[in-house]
């Protein structure tokens, strides 16, 4: 056995089942080792942002890390935006980064770089193999670091000579750490605050949004009248019929602070106190109301289910929540498509147990609003604001959950960052329906331009926010990567396409034509 074999065997022993990869010459021994390990599936991504985003989606649904295989500093660099998102999601991700042989680095060959510097900003833990025998040990340490509750980004560097040199078999057994528990004082303080307050909320995020934790939050709401409000961009919300419903904090800062202004008590679980996404001239950044009592029951790294259960018991809450979401269907208004009708169609057609990867941007909002009463499903969002995450996350989620329908609710501008994900969806025959929301615009940036106070932008400024010249044809893009596709311009066409897509298994794209912003940009053809 060489170092690579011993590493991959140790990771498979630890339970790592999938490697999302984009390898190069320095990783060939690692590729061979994965080849020889039947317990590990190998999935090629044609850009590293697909690889890392897929690892995030996988982790959110599987609750354990996938391995990524990345090519030195530049390969890692290409994947870093989606690692930023994964870090914000507190997803467990295990990055294996190949490097030159140790003796080769002194010659400063073209791909030589400071890999540690590439990795540091988006990694919670970094390790470098020191000897061929050490490679597996570093890999297991990285695995353990990735499993720190609820997840961390752990990156380790594997020099090519450590991978190809003979090594003794690795006996290292992974010991994933226990989740830290809230201390008794925090439970007592939160109970006291909820009893004393008159308008109270549990402000919840992260692991507090999983079904069992929400059930406990629902008990607390039943006992105290506290409203349940989630952070705007969450990792995974389990919602729909039969589950405890939650409100979602609005995106724009002034709307969010207005939403929260009457609360005198906020108990925070699984997240941090709310702040606005961006700063705007004269508007608030910190959104909790002045003078309100804020108690952190559990930060994102403290066991949310345990904390909520103990708080509910301390409050002598009823054994069941007062409110569980009933199922309902929406009546469609036929005609051209818009955000509202899009949302209704999705809500009516969503199958039980679906997973929605939401990078729908301005057109995703309607879908979220209307799907609250759909059949039980999971909703995944863009946690770190770095667009290009939605398609890769859908891909990873589908690998983790082969028996569930995955819907990628995907805005066109954001889709163009990582369109290669479509190819991997086809190659792996994943059960994903991509709803490609084509408004030929960076619509949100048109809104933001006004909000930051830019008056009368000219055609030159508007051209930077416009995708209509030339028009992107998503049916052709999908078909070019082997994916069956169709286009919907009316509510009836979308509804019919959704019925078909939900009945069939496998990858499919529906291009949804939505109203955009009028472009004042002259066409390239004059
Ligand atoms: C990596 C990255 N680059 C740039 C941005 C800035 N940005 C935010 S939204 C956006 C455009 C979104 O357009 P689209 O996905 O089509 O959604 P729409 O606003 O039209 O609904 C851009 C470029 C970003 N958030 N992340």
E-strand stretches of 320-454:
354-359, 377-381, 406-411, 432-438
Confidence of residue 455 (pLDDT cuts 50, 70, 90): confident
Cα 287 to ligand 1 centre (Å):
23
Residue that has been written with the tokens 């790592």 in this structure: 16
Ligand 1 site, residue 443, Cβ cutoff 6 A? yes
> Edge-to-edge strands of the sheet including 18-21?
41-44, 18-21, 67-71, 93-99, 153-159, 125-128
Q: Which residues are paired to 293 by β-bridges?
A: 265
Does the Cβ of 13 fall within 6 Å of ligand 1?
no
pLDDT of residue 171: 66
Altogether, the residues listed in the chain come to a count of 526
pLDDT at 526 over 70: no
Cis peptide before 150 (omega within 30 of 0): yes
Entry pTM: 0.97
Residue 25 has pLDDT above 60, yes or no: yes
Q: Using CA positions, which residue lies closest to atom 16 of ligand 1?
A: 413
- For ligand 1, atom 12, name the residue with the nearest CA: 442
Q: Span 452-465, mean pLDDT?
A: 90
pLDDT of residue 452: 86
Residue 137: which residues within 8 A CB-CB, separation 6 or more? 170, 172
What mean pLDDT comes out for the span 50-76?
98
Six token digits for residue 231: 């952070």
Q: Is residue 516 within 8 Å of 468, Cβ to Cβ?
A: yes
CA of 334 to the centre of ligand 1 (A): 29
Is the Cβ–Cβ distance between 120 and 77 less than 8 Å?
A: no
**CB 442 less than 6 A from any atom of ligand 1:** yes
pLDDT at position 453 is 84
- Cβ–ligand 1 distance for 363 under 6 Å, the answer yes
Task: Look at residue 519 and tell me whether its pLDDT is greater than 70.
Answer: no
Report the distance separating Cα 251 and Cα 235, nearest Å: 16
**3 state SS of 321:** coil
460: left (phi over 0), alpha (psi -120 to 50) or beta: alpha
Whether residue 74 is predicted with pLDDT greater than 60 in this model: the reply is yes
Q: What pLDDT is recorded for position 517?
A: 59
Measured distance CA(479)–CA(422) in Å, rounded: 10
Helix axes 491-503, 339-349, angle to 10 degrees: 30
Ligand 1 pocket check for 418: Cβ under 6 Å: no
What is the three-class DSSP state of 100?
coil
State residue 520's pLDDT score: 37
Determine the average pLDDT of the residues in 213-217. 98
pLDDT, position 170: 64
Closest ligand 1 atom to Cα of 414: 15
User: Between helices 304-314 and 184-196, what is the axis angle to 10°?
Assistant: 50
Q: Is the CB of 466 under 6 A from ligand 1?
A: no
How far does residue 261's CA lie from ligand 1's centre (Å)? Answer: 29
Ligand 1 neighbourhood includes 144 CB (under 6 angstroms): no
pLDDT per position as a tens digit, 94-143: 999 999 999 999 999 999 999 999 999 999 999 999 999 999 999 999 99
Instruction: Please state the rounded mean pLDDT for residues 180-187.
Output: 98
pLDDT (0 to 100) of residue 400: 99
Nearest to 294 by CA among 222, 226, 203: 203
What is the tens place of the pLDDT at every residue in 408-438? Answer: 999 999 999 999 999 999 999 999 999 999 9
Vertex 308, ends 263 and 297: CA angle to 5°?
55
Please determine, for residue 472, whether its predicted confidence score (pLDDT) is greater than 70.
yes
Q: What is the distance in A from the centroid of ligand 1 to the CA of 140?
A: 37
Give the angle subtended at the CA of 310 by the CAs of 304 and 312, to the nearest 5°.
Answer: 100
| Token couple for 129 | 């193999």
**How far is Cα 491 from Cα 212, in angstroms, rounded to an integer?**
36
- pLDDT over 70 at 87, yes or no: yes
CB burial of residue 11 (10 Å; 0-12, 13-18, 19+): buried
d(CA 47, CA 298): 37
- Helix axis angle for 211-224 and 184-196, nearest 10°, is 40
pLDDT one-digit tens code per residue, 312-351: 999 999 999 999 999 999 999 999 999 999 999 999 999 9
- What Rg value do the Cα atoms of the chain yield, rounded? 24
Alpha carbons 217 and 309: distance in angstroms, whole number: 8
């Amino acid at each position: 056995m060489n170092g690579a074999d011993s590493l991959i065997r140790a990771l498979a022993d630890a339970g790592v089942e999938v490697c999302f990869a984009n390898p190069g010459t320095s990783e060939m021994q690692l590729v061979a080792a994965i080849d020889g390990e039947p317990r590990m599936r190998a999935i090629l991504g044609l850009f590293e942002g697909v690889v890392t985003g897929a690892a995030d989606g996988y982790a959110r649904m599987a609750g354990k890390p996938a391995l990524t295989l990345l090519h030195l500093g530049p390969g890692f660099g290409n994947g870093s935006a989606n690692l930023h998102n994964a870090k914000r999601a507190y997803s467990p991700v295990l990055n294996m980064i190949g490097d030159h042989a140790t003796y080769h680095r002194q010659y400063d060959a073209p791909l030589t770089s400071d890999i540690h510097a590439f990795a540091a900003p988006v990694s919670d833990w970094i390790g470098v193999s020191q000897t061929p025998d050490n490679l597996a040990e570093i890999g297991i340490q990285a695995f353990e670091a990735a499993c720190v509750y609820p997840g961390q980004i752990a990156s380790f560097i594997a020099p090519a000579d450590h991978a190809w040199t003979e090594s003794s078999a690795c006996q290292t057994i992974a010991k994933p750490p226990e989740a830290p528990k809230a201390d008794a004082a925090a439970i007592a303080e939160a109970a006291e605050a909820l009893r004393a307050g008159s308008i109270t909320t549990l402000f919840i995020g992260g692991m507090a949004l999983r079904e069992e934790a929400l059930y406990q939050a629902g008990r607390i709401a039943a006992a105290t009248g506290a409203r349940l409000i989630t952070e705007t961009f969450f990792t995974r919300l389990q919602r729909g019929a039969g589950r405890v419903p939650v409100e979602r904090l609005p995106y724009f800062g002034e709307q969010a602070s207005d939403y929260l202004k009457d609360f005198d008590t906020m108990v925070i679980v699984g997240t941090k106190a709310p702040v606005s996404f961006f700063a705007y001239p004269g508007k608030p950044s910190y959104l909790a109301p002045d003078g309100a009592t804020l108690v952190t029951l559990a930060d994102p790294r403290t066991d949310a289910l345990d904390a909520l259960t103990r708080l509910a018991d301390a409050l002598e809450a009823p054994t069941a929540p007062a409110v569980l979401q009933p199922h309902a269907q929406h009546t469609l208004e036929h005609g051209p498509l818009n955000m509202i009708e899009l949302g209704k169609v999705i809500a009516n057609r969503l199958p039980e147990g679906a997973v929605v990867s939401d990078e729908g941007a301005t057109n995703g909002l309607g879908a979220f609003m209307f799907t609250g009463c759909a059949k039980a499903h999971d909703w995944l969002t863009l946690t770190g604001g770095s667009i290009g995450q939605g398609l890769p996350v859908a891909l990873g989620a589908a690998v983790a959950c082969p028996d569930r329908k995955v819907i990628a609710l995907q805005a066109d501008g954001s889709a163009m960052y990582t369109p290669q994900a479509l190819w991997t969806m086809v190659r792996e025959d994943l059960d994903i329906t991509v709803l490609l929301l084509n408004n030929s615009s960076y619509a949100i940036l048109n809104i933001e331009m006004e909000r930051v106070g830019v008056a009368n932008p000219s055609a030159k400024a508007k051209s930077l926010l416009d995708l209509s010249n030339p028009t992107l044809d998503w049916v052709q893009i999908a078909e070019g990567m082997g994916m069956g596709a169709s286009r919907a311009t009316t509510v009836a066409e979308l509804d019919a396409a959704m019925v078909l897509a939900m009945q069939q298994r496998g990858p499919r794209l529906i291009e949804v034509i939505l109203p955009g912003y009028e472009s004042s940009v002259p066409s390239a053809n004059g």
